[in-house]
Amino acid sequence: MKKLIGLIIVIIYCNSVFAQQPDDDAIKKTINTMFDAMRAGDSAKLHSVFADGIVLQSVAKKKDGTVKLITEKQGEFLTAVGTPHKEVWDERITWGDIKIDADLASVWTPYKFYIDDKFSHCGVNFFQLMKTAAGWKIIYIVDTRRKDNCPE
């Protein structure tokens, strides 16, 4: 009997640890839509996954080695993506941790950024999303950017 109870506890624990949360796919779809919009230069599609008041920031090193926080306005980012450009902005991510509590999610995604097929830089994106009546919307993005020490 003790073995049976122990087995049931292990099964329940494994299911809770390894099972994908139901919203994981919806969150991934929201983030993938953002990157699809960037590749297509489609600011309307990009805007569709942003919540009103989204905050966009980057942590970057200046030439003198000091670290600075750069804040970009939503409108500026949408304009940059939507302004016609010959090159494809291709951000390739690796899915990291997705954490969800009620209507708030956080997602960690290492990435490499390419202009067409030419490597530009790498880093990590950290997303905060909010579940709305229209689905998951991105409310905050902060990233790092570097040209060295990038994963293979």
7-62, pLDDT tens digit by residue?
455 444 444 444 456 689 999 999 999 999 999 999 999 999 999 999 999 999 88
Residue 102 domain-assigned (yes or no): yes
Residue 16 domain-assigned (yes or no): no
Domain, as residue range, for 132: 23-144
Q: What's the pLDDT at 1?
A: 56
Phi/psi at 77 (5° precision): -65, -45
Residue 46 domain-assigned (yes or no): yes
Q: CA 152 from chain center: how many Å?
A: 19
Q: How crowded is the C-beta side of 33, counted as CA atoms within 13 Å?
A: 18
Taking the chain, what is the end-to-end CA distance rounded to the nearest angstrom?
50
Residue 128 domain-assigned (yes or no): yes
d(CA 26, CA 24): 6
- pLDDT band at residue 91, thresholds of 50, 70 and 90? very high
Residue 112 domain-assigned (yes or no): yes
Q: What's the pLDDT at 12?
A: 46
Residue 5 domain-assigned (yes or no): no
What are the tens digits of pLDDT across the range 105-144?
Answer: 999 999 999 999 999 999 999 999 999 999 999 999 999 9
Q: What is the SS3 assignment for 20? A: coil
Report pTM: 0.83
- Specify the amino acid at residue 51: A
**10 Å Cβ neighbour count for 133?**
4
Residue 120 domain-assigned (yes or no): yes
Residue 74 domain-assigned (yes or no): yes
Domain CATH code at residue 98: 3.10.450.50
Q: What's the pLDDT at 18?
A: 46
Helix (H) or strand (E) holding 81: helix 74-82
Does 148 have pLDDT greater than 50?
Answer: yes
What are the tens digits of pLDDT across the range 53-88?
Answer: 999 999 998 889 999 999 999 999 999 999 999 999
Domain count, the chain: 1
